[in-house]
Amino acid sequence: MIKAANDNGVKLMIAYRLHLEPANLEAVEIVNSQQIGEARAFNSVFTQQVEQGNIRLRDITGGGTLYDIGIYCINAARYLFQDEPTEVFAVAATKGEQRFSEVEEMTSVILRFPNERLATFTCSFGGAKVSNYQVVGTQGDLFVESAYTWQGEIKHYLTIEGQTQERNFPRHDQLAAEFTYFSDCILSDQEPEPNGIEGLIDVRIIQALYQSIATGQPVKIPTLERDQRPTSDQSIERPPVEEKPDLIHAASPGGD
């Protein structure tokens, strides 16, 4: 896809809406400015119940937990640490329900980053709805609740030397922000920040994680350098959609 876009002079952007989302971009600024000291650890949980028959549970078209939701945790660790993992390890678990006959029920992951930093996360199609991450530094930590949501409120809990501050980020139309950003890149002939290389790095990491699951061993990853990272300059807010749009030939994970 990268080569095809370059050969034909067209823009390629990966649909990473959180690269434009104010709460996540503010988290990047908090970590990058070392308000919590030196960032040492990242931990995240992203789980939801996916009902039998949903496309997410099909190996060929859905891809399983890592491709569907684990990628959010991987991408968050990368943009918060502003770096790329050098080694990964993963284990998968499946309780034996029929709905998990093609893909794993859940996966737990460890990513090793340069400067001896670790990122861990668990993603699941068989757990209650949870979406959060925490970055722990040498002087404090940042906990982000409903971190990966596409339509709801997001909360920050910033603790520095024992004192906690809470901040709420109101809901807004994240998809409209994506369309606005990509349109601006086309009109101004600018390279989108979440470009093809950004997506390629995540896919390589996921492939290495499935290799680790298959072999039971850590897997080293050749590093692809990024010359762009998401910053608060990319933050875009658009008014929230008041009514949920009808789904066409699609279903939400829980079948609501």
Which domains occur in the chain, in start order? Answer: 19-171+194-220 (3.30.360.10)
Q: DSSP readout, the chain? A: -HHHHHHHT-------GGGS-HHHHHHHHHHHTTTTSSEEEEEEEEEEE--TT-GGG-TTTT--HIIIIIHHHHHHHHHHHTS--SEEEEEEE----GGGSSS-SEEEEEEEETTTEEEEEEEESEEEEEEEEEEEESSEEEEEETTT-SSS-EEEEEEETTEEEEEEE----HHHHHHHHHHHHHHTT---SS-HHHHHHHHHHHHHHHHHHHHTS-EE-PPPP-S----GGG----PPPSSPPPPSS---TT--
- Residue 226, pLDDT above cutoff 90: no
Q: Which of 58-72, 160-174, 209-223 has the lowest mean pLDDT?
A: 58-72
Question: pTM, whole model, 2 decimals?
Answer: 0.95
Question: In this predicted structure, what is the pLDDT of residue 256?
Answer: 64
Residue 92 pLDDT > 80: yes
Bridge partners (DSSP) of residue 159 are 141, 164
Residue 4 makes CB contacts below 8 A (sequence gap 6+) with none
Q: Say if strands 117-124 and 126-137 run parallel, antiparallel, or are unpaired.
A: unpaired
Q: How far is CA 5 from CA 39, 83, 197, 214, in A?
A: 36, 25, 12, 33
Model confidence at 10, in pLDDT bands (50, 70, 90)?
Answer: very high
What percentage of the chain has pLDDT greater than the value 70?
Answer: 99
Report yes or no: 156 and 143 within 8 Å, Cβ to Cβ.
yes
